Structure 1
Amino acid sequence: MTFISYAQNFEDIRLWRALKHVEKGFYIDVGANHPTTDSVTRAFYDRGWSGINVEPVPSYYNALCQERPRDTNLQCAAGDNAEALTFYGIADTGLSTLDPAIAQQHKDAGMPVQTQIVSSRTLSDICEAHVDGPIHFLKIDVEGHEETVLRSMDFSRWRPWILLIETPWNRDQTWETLVTDAGYHPVVFDGINTFYLAEEHLNLKGAFDLPPCNLDEFQFRPGHSFVAPDTDLEQALIAERQRADRAEAELHALRNSRSWRAIEKLKKVLVRG
């Protein structure tokens, strides 16, 4: 089956190379943003994976709940404590941040920045509550808040195979020792993100040796920024996707309803009888 790429910069293709042998794997997406547009995890969800999406922006959180019913969607920020945090939102972008200095830069550039208070949970607490198996990759895109997120994770207990962390172009991130001291090795910088492999999974390094290419047999999703738009086709495909997402969400809700459980229990009684 042709791989459909949703990610902004081929991130999902690189990850799929390394992890395509895993069936129904598990991811954590900190700063998940939109469930489809530029999503690193959407392609994996479409192939049966599931995971945890951490997203404080209400509109994106609501969209995740609608389009990702198999996922655990958390409306909060990831931080080094459970205190409320000041969040600087920039609507319809991936630039919202917890960093006041970055927020000020966006204000100076003329962007509308809205301030709100959001709840915070440590990444270790999130894992404790929602992880019961291997974490195949952890993606962190939090616009300058990376160090705080990383400090909230117990890498001695929770060992994602791959870390994908947004990093500055000059790669002068002060937090990198938190990752390398925990036994993670940088394997590639793609211009936006750095990929790190856990030392116990360095056998996957070969998947990152070459940039994405035609041999990966992928296509971009309709409406991807790398594709010239075909407006009519794009709108039709988006509408079909939305209908499919609604149907999946309704089925998921039905299967978790009391009436569904009662019917299933009655079926078992009738079969035994």
Structure 2
Amino acid sequence: MLIKKIKNKLFTRVLNSVEDKYKKMSFSQCGEDLIVKFIFDYLGIYKPTYIDIGAHHPYYISNTALFYKNGCRGINVEPDPVLFKEFLKYRKEDENLNIGISDSNSELDFYIISSPTLNTFSKGEAEKYALEGNYQIKSIEKITVKTLKNVLEECSNGIFPQYLSVDAEGVDEVIIKEIDFENNYPIVICIETITFSTSGNGIKNTNLIEYIIDRGYILYADTHINTIFVRNENWKGNFELQED
């Protein structure tokens, strides 16, 4: 009996070791971080830099937490003053900014929603949430916003990080159209491309998807909520290197 117990313990220990070796951890809503990690690993970029706009939380449904855990460092942009405090606690080695991104340096109304994942600079989006479900506008705060160019100049010597994650609830297009896709751009983009809906009837933003593709990207994956793009020249260039 004792020998059987010892054998069972040894087997469990070996099994756990094998599981630990092959399991994959994800912090994203639908595994987006694992898809993005696969892309960068395939490209031979094992510690990509990142900028997370609308970062929300250091770990909960985060598209960059996995990279931070693996030793990568980047920029987190979170305009909600309450949510932002968590980044100061748990992502101390990142550059953390309690601002929003817009097409000018100014102050804008920021709508704090009863479900913080829906916070937005868009009045129209905020009002729509109240109609969609049991959501309310809790408060409206004046929040500093800066251009993407200004943030990059202040935080990364003007160089665009290799990975861009955007979840900005209604102002995603404003952010994307601030990128200089000719001279300074990310290799991988993960961006929310579906409108919010409690009934599952969200509408895909096909115009935004086509805009990014037209700027030199391949649509690599789509998780229904988010779309992941990889820069065409990097992806095809990697194949050419392998063939050589």
TM value normalised by structure 2: 0.77
Which of 39, 53, 75 is the aligned partner of 1:18? 39
Q: CA RMSD in A?
A: 2.1
**2:143 maps to what in 1?**
118
Q: Distance in 2 between matches of 1:181 and 1:18?
A: 20
**Would you say 1:166 and 2:192 are equivalent positions?**
yes
Which one-letter code corresponds to 1:5 in the other structure? S
1:123-162 matches, within 5 Å, as 123-132=148-157, 135-162=161-188
Bigger shift: 40-49 or 169-178?
169-178
TM-score normalised by length of structure 1: 0.69
Could you tell me how far apart the structure 2 residues matched to 1:61 and 1:152 are? 23
Match of 2:29 in 1: 8
Aligned residues: 206
Q: Structure 1: how far apart are the matches of 2:237 and 2:114?
A: 37
Q: Give the aligned partner of residue 88 of structure 1.
A: 111
1:143-193 per-residue CA deviation (whole Å, 9 max, x = no partner) reads 111111112222223221111110015423433454233212222221111
Q: CA-to-partner distance for each residue in 1:206-256, whole Å, 9 max, x for gaps?
A: 9xxxxxxxxxxxxxxxxxxxxxxxxxxxxxxxxxxxxxxxxxxxxxxxxxx
Deviation at 1:85, TM superposition (A): 1.0
The residue aligned with 1:216 is none
SS of residue matched to 1:4: coil
Distance in 1 of aligned mates of 2:140 and 2:238? 41
Shift of residue 136, structure 1, vs aligned partner: 2.1
Distance 2:91 2:110 in 1: 24
Native 8 Å contact 1:34 1:63 kept in 2? yes
For 2:151 and 2:183, the matched residues in 1 are separated by 13
CA displacement at 1:98 relative to structure 2: 1.4
CA distance in 2, matches of 1:14, 1:205: 17
Does residue 79 of structure 2 align to residue 56 of structure 1?
yes
Match of 1:75 among 98, 107, 120: 98
Which stretches of structure 1, 4 residues or more, deviate above 6 A after TM superposition? none
- Cα separation, 1, equivalents of 2:123 and 2:160: 34
Q: Which structure is higher in RCO with an 8 Å CA cutoff and minimum separation 6?
A: 1
Equivalent-residue separation in structure 2 for 1:66 and 1:27 (angstroms): 19
Shift in CA distance, 205/58, structure 1 to aligned 2, threshold 3 Å: farther
Say if 2:152 and 2:160, in contact at 8 Å, map to a contact too.
no
Aligned equivalents of 1:11, 1:177: Cα separation in 2: 20
Counterpart residue identity of residue 105, structure 2: A
**Secondary structure of the equivalent of 1:48?**
coil
What is the SS of the residue equivalent to 1:29? strand
Q: CA deviation at 1:205?
A: 9.4
- Structure 1 residues 181 and 91, CA gap change in structure 2 (3 angstroms): same
Q: Measure the CA separation in 2 of the matches of 1:72 and 1:59.
A: 17
SS at match of 1:200: helix
- 2:69 pairs with 1:46: yes
The CA deviation at 1:204 is 8.7
Deviation at 1:28, TM superposition (A): 0.6
User: What SS does the corresponding residue of 2:56 show, helix, strand or coil?
Assistant: coil
Q: Is the 8 A contact 1:122 1:153 kept in 2?
A: no
Query: In structure 1, what is the Cα distance between the partners aligned to 2:128 and 2:238?
Result: 37
**5+ unaligned residues in a row in structure 2: which ranges?**
1-20, 195-201, 240-244
